[in-house]
Amino acid sequence: DHASFASRCRRRMLAWSNPVEYEYFTTVFGH
């Protein structure tokens, strides 16, 4: 479910320790 996946990625982005971090890609977008 692409929309749900994108929303869950956003939650992981928001939870990342450095707010402008963009390990990051694997953790935020990895299955």
Partner 1 sequence: MPLTAADESLFERWRERIEQLIRDHPLQIITWEATRRCNLRCIHCGSPAEEVDLGSELTEDEVVGAFEQIAADFDMSQFRHVNITGGEPFVRSDLLDILRRISRIPYYRNIDIQTNGIVLANRPELLAKLRQAGVTGLGISIDGLESTHDAFRHIHGGFRMAWDAARRAADSGYVVTVSVVAHARNVHEIQELFERVRDGIRPRVFRIMTIDPIGRTGFDSEYLLSADQTREVIEFLKGEYERSCHTYANRATTMVELGCGGWLGRDLEGLVRPFIWHCIAGINNLGILHDGKLGACSNIPRKFIEGDLRTERIKDVWDQQYRRYRSSDWRRTGPCATCKEWPYCHGGPMHKACIADRCLLHLSKLAVTCGAHDH
Give me the least distance between CB of 8 and partner 1, in Å please. Answer: 10
Give me the least distance between CB of 16 and partner 1, in Å please. Answer: 9
Residue type for position 1: D
Residue ranges in 1-31 that form contacts with partner 1 under rule CB under 8 A: 2-3, 5-7, 9-11, 13-15, 17-22, 25-26, 28-31
CA–CA separation, 7 and 3 (whole Å)? 6
Cβ 24 vs Cβ 16: under 8 Å = yes
**Other Cβ atoms closer than 10 A to 16:** 14
Q: What residue ranges bind partner 1 (CB under 8 A)?
A: 2-3, 5-7, 9-11, 13-15, 17-22, 25-26, 28-31
